Amino acid sequence: MNSVHDCGGFDGFGRVVPEGYDGSEPVFKHEWERRMCALFMVTIGAHYSDDEFRQSRERLEPVTYLTRPYYEQWWFAVARLMMEKGLMTPEEFGRHLAAGPTPSADILAGDA
């Protein structure tokens, strides 16, 4: 498969070296990332499958997918799934955005 989501396998992109692979970086750079991971753990399996989560992330526009941090992609994917499954309304989602701090809101405006 050759898509933006598989760029680690593309020729010419070079070796994929994750940040902090040597243990020098914290797992979560911001508190909202820790909460995002917890929300994912609570909702995966109970409300959507791993395949649905992956597909939700892969529905991001390529430039968005390549320029947004990892947990921001997770946040977007889970929020999309929660709205699609009726677990959260777009209005509730808007209130969450307004409450902050959150990842970049602009990715959600066009992709939700």
How far is Cα 108 from Cα 17, in angstroms, rounded to an integer?
Answer: 28
Domain boundaries, the chain: 30-111
* Residue 82 scores a pLDDT above 60: yes
Asked whether the predicted pLDDT for residue 4 surpasses 70, the reply is no
Whether pTM > 0.75 for this model: the answer is: no
pLDDT higher than 70, residue 9: no
Q: What is the pLDDT of residue 55?
A: 93
Return the higher-pLDDT residue of 94 and 12.
94
Once rounded to an integer, what is the mean pLDDT over residues 32-48?
A: 91
- The answer, yes or no, to whether residue 41 has pLDDT greater than 90, is yes
Element (H, E) at 90: helix 90-99
How much is the pLDDT for 110? 45
Homologous superfamily, domain 30-111 = Nitrile hydratase, beta subunit (1.10.472.20)
Whether residue 69 has a cis bond before it, omega within 30° of 0:
no
Distance in angstroms (rounded) separating the CA atoms of residues 112 and 101: 19
Q: Which of 39-43, 58-62, 79-83 has the lowest mean pLDDT?
A: 58-62
